[in-house]
């Protein structure tokens, strides 16, 4: 009698667990490609997903320097890319995925991240150096030529170092 009650109690629990685990597996499959849709993505998919899937690129965040290192590592692992493809991939990664060390980033990278032209990027760098670096989001919003809404949209990726 006692065992029967235990079974009636545990069966629904087991069924719920099973349902949850299947849902998770299906979800994981559907969400395999988490690469943001943006210019350069087709090239990234072409040259970076023939040895492993793109989850290696989206699972863990990396700084711009971290991505530069990854590019060297992949070439050591045998990735063959033309110079143009290499630039497209790195630009895509910097623009869409990289963590940005704001006080170290060079103008060319700020251009990509904030979608500004060379002149604005140079002004931002000059302003940053004059201020002794950005310490908060509000500091950054005071930089000439940067859009506050864009800064807010990027905030998960901005590092004040």
The residue ranges that bind ligand HEC (CB under 6 A) are: 47-48, 50-52, 56-57, 70-71, 74, 77-79, 81, 89
Q: Is 159 helix (H, G, I), strand (E, B) or coil?
A: strand
Q: Which is nearer to ligand HEC, 61 or 133 (CB)?
A: 61
Contacts of 20 (CB under 8 A, 6+ apart): none
Q: Which is nearer to ligand HEC, 55 or 103 (CB)?
A: 55
Q: How far is the CB of 11 from ligand HEC (least distance, A)?
A: 40
Spatial separation of the C-alpha atoms in residues 124 and 31, rounded to whole Å: 37
Q: How far is the CB of 51 from ligand HEC (least distance, A)?
A: 3
Q: How far is the CB of 73 from ligand HEC (least distance, A)?
A: 7
115 to each of 82, 139, 140, how far by Cα in Å? Answer: 25, 19, 15
Q: Which is nearer to ligand HEC, 89 or 98 (CB)?
A: 89
């Amino acid at each position: 009698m006692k065992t029967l009650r235990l079974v009636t109690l545990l069966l629904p629990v087991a069924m719920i667990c099973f349902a949850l685990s299947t849902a998770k597996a299906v979800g994981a499959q559907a969400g395999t490609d988490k690469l943001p849709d943006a210019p350069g993505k087709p090239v990234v998919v072409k040259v970076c997903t023939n040895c492993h899937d793109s989850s290696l690129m989206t699972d863990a965040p990396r700084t711009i320097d971290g991505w530069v290192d990854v590019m060297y590592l992949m070439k050591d692992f045998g990735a063959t890319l033309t110079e143009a493809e290499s630039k497209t991939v790195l630009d895509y990664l910097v623009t869409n995925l990289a963590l940005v060390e704001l006080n170290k980033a060079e103008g060319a990278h700020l251009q990509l991240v904030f979608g500004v032209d060379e002149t604005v990027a140079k002004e931002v760098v000059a302003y940053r150096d004059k201020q002794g670096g950005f310490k908060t989001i509000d500091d950054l919003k005071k930089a000439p030529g940067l859009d506050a809404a864009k800064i807010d949209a990027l905030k998960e990726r901005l590092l004040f170092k």
